[in-house]
Every structure is written in C-alpha cells, then in structure tokens.
Chains A and B, each alone.
Chain A
Amino acid sequence: MVAQPPIDMPTPPHVGLFATCLVDLMRPSVGFAAARLLEAAGCRVSVPESQTCCGQPAYNAGDQADARAIALNTLAAFEPFDYVVAPSGSCAAMIRVHYPRLFADDPELLKRSQALSDKTYELTSFLKDILQDIEIKAKFNGKITYHDACSGLREMAVKEQPRALLGDVVGLELVEAAESEACCGFGGLFSVKYPDISTKMVSDKTDVLIATGADMVLGGDLGCLMNIAGRLKRRGSNLEVRHVAEVLADMTADVPPIAGKDNA
C-alpha cells in the first residue's frame, strides 16, 4: 500500500537521513542529493554519525544475532527523528518491514522497532507520498529508463513516485523497458555467492535496458545500480547509470555517472 501522510506533521519535519552503507562508502553524492532534495522540500536534515548498515546482509544470511545487534544500533541512532528516510527501497524495507519481525519475541524492542518502522520511508516515496506537493527544480536533456528495484517495488510500493517526480524534470523523457519489474540479479550477497546465476540475470536485464535506446538508466537502489552499471561497462556499453536522486537534485553536471563513457 502506498504511504499516506500523517494528519499532524511537525514543521519543519526533522528527518534522520539513513545514507545506507553502500551510499556512505561508495557514492556519497547520492547522500548529498537526498539531503538537498529533503532540505529543498522544507525538512530539517540530520545525519547521525553512528549509522552503519541496516543489517540486511546478516539478516538474509540467516545470522539473526548479528542482524539484531546491527538493527539495535540503527534503532538507537534514528529513534529521535520525526522521520527516517533512506535513498534505498531495500534498506528502508529492512527497517520498515523486517525490524519488527526481527524483534517479534521481545515486547519492548518490538514496540520500539514498530515505532521506527512506522516513520521510515524510501526517499521518492517520502517526497511524493508524505511531503506531497514539492517542487523539483532540475533539468536533464535526454531519454531515461527506470529500473524498479525489487524491495522498493514489492515491499514499499515504490513504482509511480519516482516516475511522477521525474515528470517535473525539464527536458527529461521517460521510456519504459520491457520487464522493468524483473530482478537485476543483485540480491546483496547473492551476487557474489552465485555469480553465474547473477550474471545471467543482469545480462538479461542489461539487454532490455540497452534495447530501450535510453541515454541513462535510473533507479532508487545503489546495489542494483552498481550491478547494472558494472555489467554494462563490462559489455562495453556507454549507457549511463545514476541514482534517481542525482537527477532530481540536478547534480548530473557535477558528478560523473556510475557507468557511462570512459573518461580515461
């Protein structure tokens, strides 16, 4: 179900930005883009220094104890805020959908994790569903296609929000790829544990992306985007790949794409 705005939203809403470990380490630009968008929409943005990772790798590996310990760290870091926003459907879903499951057997932690869950959103969903009438001031002259990352799509109902926001970008044309809802083959550790299968999946994915004739692929999850970008580069394609926040925050001129023409 698509997220609904609360009746009594604090002004300005204080947002704890959960950068996610991949953005924090690999591509901070996405974090700055997210912060820029949130601030432009009237939010007060904080970045708690004690954030690390949502714990999904441990959780999906069946390592409940580590997943809980990491989740507790995130819980403590983000409890003080009105909202928690992540530029990732997958990490946001970990908090929103899975934290309460992780603490189901502990009434106190269940209550706290449920409260955190209730105020956690994926970035484009927060901008569109919660803040609603925000103004996007960005230009991009070109054709883009959008990859729906699985967790955002199926666990957080993220589908129309990024497309609606992109609709406000001057000069941008959206073309849909075939099977835009099919998995790219990333799946976190899946991509390194089962590289042959993952490669087949991302090869199929890059086939349909290339076939759109778009100049750029956008998506809301850095893991998927690194997977797609990595495969496109290896195939010698010049198709550019970026996080949707970079385009919405009008940062395409300042930051090189994740994949694209070699600058060397």
Chain B
Amino acid sequence: MQVTSKSFVANAKKGLADANLQSSLARLSTGFPIARLAAIDRMPEFEQLRDDAVAIKDHTLANLDAYLERYEEKVIESGGHVHWAADGAQARDIVLQICRDAGARTVTKGKSMITEEAGINEHLEANGIEPIETDLGEYIIQLRNEPPSHIIAPAIHLSKEQVAETFVTEHTDFPAERDLSDPRTLLEEARAILRRKFIAADVGITGANMLIAETGTSVIVTNEGNGDLTQTLPKTHIVVASIEKVLPTLEDATTILRVLARSATGQEMAVYNTFSTGPRRPDDLDGPENYHVVILDNGRSDMLGGEFNDMLRCIKCSACINHCPVYKAVGGHAYGWCYSGPMGAVLVPGLQGLAEAHDLPQASSFCGRCEDVCPVRIPLPRMLRAWRTKSYEAGLGSKTSRAGLGVWAYFARRPALYRPLMRVGVAVLAALGSLRGRGRFSVLPLAGGWTASRDLPVPEGKTFVEQWKRGKR
C-alpha cells in the first residue's frame, strides 16, 4: 500500500471532517474499552498475567535467534517449509513463487497485518493472481480499494450504509433493488460469495498471532472462522509472520491468549483459536498438502536489543489504539500506513524511517493511557519521546517551532535573564488584555494555533515570584 505518513496533518484534517468516521470512532472508543474493563473485572489475576506475558516476551526476545531456529526445525520435522525474508520485497517474491508453483489463480486470505505491511496483495494482483480477503472487514475494504484503518477492525471507518452501497455497486449478480438495511443481510451476502471463493481457492494465506518453537505450530485468533477455511481448504497454506511472533512453548501461548482477547475486544477468548502444525498427515480429515511459513524481518532485528526493543513485545491487541484520544480524533488512515494509534506511532518510524513518519510520534499529548492498558506493558510514551529526540537531533520538523523553543530554553536556563524578561512580557500581555477588558484574548499574534478555537486568558499582571519576593501573601 501507498505510505502517506508524511501527510499526517492533512490526513488528520480529512479524518476530523468525516462525519461517518467520527461516529464510528465515538462508538469504538467507548465499546472496546468498556468491554475490556468488564473482562478484567471478571479476572482478578489479570495484572499478574500481564507480568507473566511481559516475562515470556522478554525472555523470547533475548533468545530470539535460538527460538526461531528451533521453530524452523520443528516446522521441517512436521513436513512444512520455512522461508526467511529480510524485507517486504523478498516476502512478496517468496509468496508469489509458492503461488506460481501451486499453479494458483485465486488465493484466499485470512486477516493479516503483516501481509498489508509486505504489500502481498498488490504484488499478487500485478502478477495475475487474484487475492481474496475473507475477513468481513478486510473483504469490504478490498472491494473499496482502501487500506485498513484499525489493526483488528479494519473497516471501522465505514458506516453500514456505506457498506451497503459498496455491495450494490460491486455485487452485480444480485438484484439491484434488494434491501440491505439490516447488517445481517450484508453478512449473509458476503458469506454466500465468500463460500464459493473458499472452495475455489488454490492457496490460502494467513498471518499468525503466534509461532510455537517447541512444536512448529502457527496460531491464528479470529472471530469469524474465515481463517480456518482459508488455511484448511486450499491445497497450499502459506503463513506469513514477523520474527517476534515466535514463543517458546504452547504453555506460553496460552498465557498470551488469556491477555490478548481481553485487551482487544473484551472477550474471554476469541471465537476461534486455531493451532496448525505442518501439512495434512495421512490420518487427518482435512488440511493443506503443502505448508509454508514465510518469516519476515523488515527492520525488526534493528530494533532488537536497542531502545525500541520493548515494542517487539507487541501482541497486536489494539488496546492502545482503542484508548488513544488522538486515534479517536483522526482515525487510522491519518497515520498513513497499516499501523495506527500509539503502536503505529512507534512502529511506523522504525519500519518506514523517521523522515517519512516524523509527525506520528509528535502527534501525542502524552496522556499515557496507552501504556496503562497495554497488556505487555510497552512504555509507549517513552518510545514516542525517544523518536522525538531522534527527530530533534536529525533537525526534522518545523524550523519555526524549533527556533521558538530554542529562544525560550535560552532564557529558561538563565534565571537572571528570565526574570526581568518575563516581568515585562507578562505586564505587556496584561496591558494588552486590559485594553480589551474581557480578561481573555480571542486573537493573539503567533498564537493562532491556540486562538483559532480557544480563548487565552489574560495574565493576572505580575509574576508570582516577583510578588512573593515583595512580601505579598
């Protein structure tokens, strides 16, 4: 997909003006958080589980090479193939080659952020293979040729009326005058179409929520069951996953599962938690004949062991996104790539470069809610600040605000200059304010960012320190 993180400010403006998006975001940012709280209330040991999840991820990341090798051995033992991709381009080529080897014309896809990241769909299409998204949300946005706006609710930016319009335009086999006002009818229509696609597909591609080193198993977590049909019906199953998805044991996976759905949607468990190991064995009733795993790095090994290491604990639950006031204001498309919200603001600069994504870590009020709700306790605000430090050192961002900050800092570190300057500054502002006589400014030079939508109170007139020194109490 086209990366537009550089246009964050313009993208955000568009999001703020989109009424459909705004009503969806208002629902999302109350719905998921309330469900999450209720799920946690039912589970007194949740905080302990978070600590356990952190310990599991930290241990795995510290020994990532060993666990990845172990995982590879186990996949091969169970009859599967493992492919290593350094970046998205390599992953695309590997996936295309497997599809060609399978003689594929159509490919079904389970919902997967990593294939968005690697741009798998575009590459298959460009090479004459049709990818079909089977998660309802992903299916809808594929019809509309839009990127996902949320990592677990990809079509959250659309209203059901917009979806109905899209179905009428795209599903030309159906009577044009049909009633699609009930969401259930939308679901049934998509299901009828997708059923045929599931059966006809030559290859099924899924992501993985986890890879288990001790068994060579890939795990997917879904609510629609589409992932299971994607990975069991076609002759070939391709799993695409990034390096940090590996976990040592099945036991570890159960710990992650216990915090994952609760943090994401507030469910105890997602509806389908599917473990697949290798291709179909002789006694199996179903399953693919060929089982491939493409393991993607794409910049993550550079984060390993450095100041962004903890970001690799992320289990993609979306809790940080669901609780983020900035995401709630602008929606996911503003971030300009497949990841959004606080996790996106840390991850996108790491994967796309800071020059591309400079605005993302800046556009945070540092309210800290993301860190509060992260099941694996990623210090997201701290990482956003670390990106800002890198931006500052690289001279990125507005020259004006940098110069303004520099002047202010020059005085703030020199109290002997700061005091007299502030005394005068405050007196001038107060005098200006008293001319207006209302105790507030509604327009003020150089403060347009503030006063376009807010008044600014007029200072009381003398600084506190000065008055205190003169004995006022």
Interface residues of A (CB under 8 A from B): 19, 21, 23-32, 35-36, 47, 49-53, 55, 57-64, 66, 69-70, 72-73, 77, 150-151, 154-155, 181-183, 185-204, 226-227, 229-231, 233-234, 256, 258-259, 262-264
> Are the CB atoms of A183 and B457 closer together than 8 Å?
no
Interface residues of B (CB under 8 A from A): 9, 12-13, 16, 325-326, 328-330, 362-369, 371-372, 385, 387-393, 398, 401-402, 405-406, 408-409, 411-413, 415, 418-419, 422, 425-426, 437-440, 442, 447-450, 452-457, 459-460, 462-465, 467-469, 472-473
Contacts known (A189-B401, A197-B326); A183 close to B439, Cβ less than 8 A = no
> Are the CB atoms of A230 and B450 closer together than 8 Å?
yes
> Are the CB atoms of A197 and B468 closer together than 8 Å?
no
- Return the chain B residue nearest A199 by Cβ: B453
Bound CA–CA A262/B437 (angstroms): 10
> Are the CB atoms of B393 and A62 closer together than 8 Å?
yes
* Chain B, interface SS category: helix
> Are the CB atoms of B454 and A234 closer together than 8 Å?
yes
Which of B328, B426, B453 is most buried by chain A, counting CB atoms within 10 A of its CB? B453
Which residues from A are CB-within-8-Å of B463? Answer: 24-25, 28
Bound CA–CA A229/B455 (angstroms): 8
> Are the CB atoms of A63 and B453 closer together than 8 Å?
no
Bound CA–CA A263/B389 (angstroms): 44
Taking the nearest CB of chain A, how far is it from the CB of B15, in angstroms?
A: 9
- Return the chain B residue nearest A57 by Cβ: B405
Q: How many pairs of residues, A versus B, come closer than 8 Å at their CB atoms?
A: 216
> Are the CB atoms of A201 and B329 closer together than 8 Å?
yes
Bound CA–CA A253/B358 (angstroms): 47
> Are the CB atoms of A187 and B405 closer together than 8 Å?
no
Taking the nearest CB of chain B, how far is it from the CB of A48, in angstroms?
A: 8
Bound CA–CA A31/B362 (angstroms): 31
Which residues from A are CB-within-8-Å of B387? Answer: 62
> Are the CB atoms of A197 and B16 closer together than 8 Å?
yes
Contact partner of A230 (CB less than 8 A), chosen from B401, B457, B469, is B457
Taking the nearest CB of chain B, how far is it from the CB of A49, in angstroms?
A: 6
> Are the CB atoms of B409 and A69 closer together than 8 Å?
yes
> Are the CB atoms of A35 and B326 closer together than 8 Å?
no
> Are the CB atoms of A234 and B453 closer together than 8 Å?
yes
Contact partner of B388 (CB less than 8 A), chosen from A30, A60, A77, A151, is A60
> Are the CB atoms of B442 and A31 closer together than 8 Å?
no
Which residues from B are CB-within-8-Å of A58? Answer: 405, 409, 412
- Return the chain B residue nearest A226 by Cβ: B457
Taking the nearest CB of chain B, how far is it from the CB of A57, in angstroms?
A: 6
> Are the CB atoms of A52 and B412 closer together than 8 Å?
yes
Given contacts A60-B385, A69-B413, 6 further A-B contacts (CB under 8 A): A58-B412, A154-B367, A154-B372, A155-B368, A189-B401, A201-B325
Contacts known (A28-B462, A198-B365); A62 close to B388, Cβ less than 8 A = yes
Which residues from B are CB-within-8-Å of A185? Answer: 325, 365
> Are the CB atoms of B365 and A230 closer together than 8 Å?
no
23 examples of A-B residue contacts, CB within 8 angstroms = A23-B464, A24-B422, A25-B425, A25-B426, A59-B385, A62-B390, A62-B391, A63-B392, A63-B405, A77-B415, A150-B369, A151-B368, A154-B368, A154-B371, A193-B362, A193-B401, A200-B330, A202-B453, A227-B454, A230-B456, A234-B442, A258-B457, A263-B439
Which 10 pairs from chain A and chain B are nearest by CB? A187-B365, A230-B454, A62-B392, A62-B388, A28-B464, A183-B367, A66-B409, A31-B464, A192-B449, A62-B389
Taking the nearest CB of chain B, how far is it from the CB of A28, in angstroms?
A: 4
> Are the CB atoms of B447 and A192 closer together than 8 Å?
yes
Taking the nearest CB of chain A, how far is it from the CB of B320, in angstroms?
A: 13
Bound CA–CA A264/B389 (angstroms): 45
Taking the nearest CB of chain A, how far is it from the CB of B235, in angstroms?
A: 48
Bound CA–CA A60/B398 (angstroms): 15
Contact partner of B12 (CB less than 8 A), chosen from A28, A196, A234, is A196
Which residues from B are CB-within-8-Å of A195? Answer: 448-450, 452-453
> Are the CB atoms of B365 and A24 closer together than 8 Å?
no
- Return the chain A residue nearest B26 by Cβ: A204
Bound CA–CA A193/B448 (angstroms): 10
Bound CA–CA A33/B388 (angstroms): 36
> Are the CB atoms of A187 and B366 closer together than 8 Å?
yes
- Return the chain B residue nearest A154 by Cβ: B368
Bound CA–CA A89/B364 (angstroms): 18
Contact partner of B473 (CB less than 8 A), chosen from A35, A59, A193, A229, is A35
